[in-house]
């Protein structure tokens, strides 16, 4: 299928979206993220991983200091700042790709932008903190708006929809309109339908299969299927032993979910294992552009 193309220009950065899959590498500077929590929550390990992801070919590095896994509890503003700001300050001088700050707090986003970050990734779609929209508008930076039913603490407690795609599409359209009214340039808005955030296995599969409903809104679309529990749930049905997020079979499942997402129109895919995904999506891009 034909994927709408966008050029994202901000500061010294330029991203061409649509002609090839844009890879966002995940750096969780947290002790409790669902996949790699605790692996990169020291300054040294976070810096090393950030450099590795950039070297592997990531186009964006997404850094977060508060886990958004199901049933995760919020952390204090100071704790989040302590986890991410030193990492951003150093990495922004060492790598040549843009850094996005994964946060719902405007104070954390402001400090991150001052430290060298260039994108705001807000899983609450500017709802959690009223000051976030004004900050994104003032700084003129790309802003990722995500759909989530509930909060990380509650989102996986029997999520239910009357019309999944209609509700997600309507919500994202409304949040994009809100962002524009607050002064955020349309060219700076990226939509994320929030795979795994308040959605069952069946919901996630429908979301991927009908992703064109989101791309038709006229904004770049980000998908983050990497190592998500819906992949593990599908594979676990066929296995005699449980498959966790770091199992190689989950990684294979991630490749399949990424392929489906890109073929269905995703412009950006947010992943843990950039090295595998970058080679994988180059072949997908070649097929799509043939």
Catalytic residue among 228, 249, 276, 288: 228
- Residue 270 designated active-site: yes
Q: In whole angstroms, what is the distance from residue 23 CA to residue 277 CA?
A: 8
Exactly one of 83, 139, 175, 270 is catalytic; name it: 270
Candidates 83, 122, 86, 82; CA nearest to 101 is 122
CA atoms of 196 and 124, how far apart (whole Å): 14
Task: Determine whether 228 is an active site residue.
Answer: yes
With b for 16 or more beta-carbon neighbours within 10 A and e for fewer, the 36-63 pattern comes to bbeebbeeeebbebbeebbebbbbbbbb
DSSP letters for 171-206:
HHHHHHHHHHHTT--GGGEEEE--TTSS--HHHHHH
Query: Which residues are annotated as catalytic?
Result: 228, 270
């Amino acid at each position: 299928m034909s994927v709408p193309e966008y050029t994202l220009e901000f500061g010294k950065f330029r991203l061409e979206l649509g002609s090839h899959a844009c890879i966002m590498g995940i750096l969780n500077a947290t002790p409790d993220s669902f996949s790699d929590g605790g692996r990169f929550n020291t300054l040294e390990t976070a810096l090393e991983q950030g450099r590795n992801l950039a070297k592997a070919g990531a186009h964006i590095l997404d850094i977060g200091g508060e886990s958004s896994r199901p049933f995760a509890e919020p952390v204090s503003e100071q704790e989040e700042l302590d986890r991410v700001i030193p990492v951003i300050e150093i990495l922004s001088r060492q790598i040549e790709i843009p850094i996005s700050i994964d946060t719902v707090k405007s104070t954390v986003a402001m400090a991150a932008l001052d430290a060298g970050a260039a994108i705001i990734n807000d899983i609450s779609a500017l709802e959690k903190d009223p000051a976030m929209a004004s900050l994104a508008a003032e700084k003129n930076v790309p802003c990722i708006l995500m759909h989530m039913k509930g909060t990380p603490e509650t989102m996986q407690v029997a999520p239910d929809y009357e019309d999944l795609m209609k509700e997600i599409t309507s919500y994202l359209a409304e949040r994009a309109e809100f962002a524009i009214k607050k002064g955020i340039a349309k060219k700076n808005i990226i939509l994320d339908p929030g795979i795994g955030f308040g959605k069952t296995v069946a919901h996630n599969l429908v979301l991927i299969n009908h992703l064109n409903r989101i791309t038709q809104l006229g904004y770049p679309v980000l998908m983050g299927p990497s190592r998500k529990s819906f992949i593990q749930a599908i594979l676990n049905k066929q296995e005699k032993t449980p498959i966790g997020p770091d199992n190689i079979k989950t990684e294979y499942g991630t490749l399949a979910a990424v392929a489906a997402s890109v073929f269905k129109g995703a412009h950006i895919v947010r992943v843990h294992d950039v090295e595998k995904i970058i080679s994988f999506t180059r072949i997908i891009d070649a097929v799509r552009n043939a």
